Amino acid sequence: MSETTTDPWQHTRVERDGLVLDVRTAGPEDGEPVVLLHGFPQTSRSFTALARILAAAPVRLLAPDQRGYSPGARPRDVAAYALEELVADALAVVEATGHASAHVVGHDWGSQVAWAVAGRHPERVRSLLAVSIPHPAAYGTALRTDSDQQSRSAYLQDFRAPAPGPEGALLADDAAALRSLWGAAVPAAEQEADLAQLRDGALEGGLNWYRAMRRDIADTPASAVPTTFVWGEDDAFAGAAAAHACGDHVRADYRFVSLPGVGHWVPDQAPQVLADELLARLASAR
């Protein structure tokens, strides 16, 4: 399937517990349901290239701007960003597909949420496509035992500092620190669009995910659904030890896709790979 330059998205909203998530949608309403969960510091726009590639596919995509990113879903209490709340938001989006279950794709923090949804609610997940960040138990083990992963994860403590410390540092000098995270991997237009949202309050919400993170994230159950993990070998944040141990935490059909020359921002750098892997999971589920 070839990628076009047209905007593939329509827009809707999903409400849960008094909060309103802005959701990008694409594809026929009767298509196979797929929920796309973005990571930090991006929004659901990060799946635009994937949606363009899948424009002719019989899939219904729902990509929420998750808690903290949607203007109508920015609670001030850090505890409101606990993993169980993020999982409940994702399940609300699954329900919004009109089906009892959906295929779930997650990148970066969205991958952590997707792993938790699949591990805790396998009846709601038809297949899992996790991108860049491996199962939290594999990541946690590497963080305790692997010096390379410890070095890659040093930023976590900075991001967990109280507001407005990290916010100010990341937005200083025309958001130079955020731009350096993305580098040339994320198109400039997408960076500017996300930066506008981050400056408007989404950055504090996104960082609250880190502030609310607890050690028990590593207790996320193993995935019991068909699972594919896609990892860029040049990922600056998730090293080889965690990536290669990911399959130890899957109790179903598992596929590991390692991408040489690709970094952390796989949805931007290798959207065709994600499209192919997703369509392969959809085909095998029929």
- pLDDT tens digits, residue range 128-139? 999 999 999 999
Is 246 part of a structural domain of the chain?
Answer: yes
Query: Is 140 strand, coil or helix?
Result: helix
pLDDT tens-digit profile, the chain (286 residues): 444 568 999 999 999 999 999 999 999 999 999 999 999 999 999 999 999 999 999 999 999 999 999 999 999 999 999 999 999 999 999 999 999 999 999 999 999 999 999 999 999 999 999 999 999 999 999 999 999 999 999 999 999 999 999 999 999 999 999 999 999 999 999 999 999 999 999 999 999 999 999 999 999 999 999 999 999 999 999 999 999 999 999 999 999 999 999 999 999 999 999 999 999 999 988 7
Q: In total, how many domains does the chain have?
A: 1
Is 193 part of a structural domain of the chain?
Answer: yes
- pLDDT tens digits, residue range 135-180? 999 999 999 999 999 999 999 999 999 999 999 999 999 999 999 9
Query: Is 88 strand, coil or helix?
Result: helix
Characterize the bridge pairing of strands 227-232 and 32-37: unpaired
Characterize the bridge pairing of strands 227-232 and 102-107: unpaired
Is 3 part of a structural domain of the chain?
Answer: no
The secondary element (H helix, E strand) that includes residue 231 is strand 227-232
Is 4 part of a structural domain of the chain?
Answer: no
In the sheet that holds 227-232, the strands lie side by side as 10-16, 19-26, 59-64, 32-37, 102-107, 125-131, 227-232, 254-259
Is 40 part of a structural domain of the chain?
Answer: yes
Is 2 part of a structural domain of the chain?
Answer: no
Is 65 part of a structural domain of the chain?
Answer: yes
Please give the residue range of the domain that contains residue 249.
10-285
pTM, rounded to two decimals: 0.97
Q: What is the CATH number of the domain that holds 135?
A: 3.40.50.1820
Is 5 part of a structural domain of the chain?
Answer: no
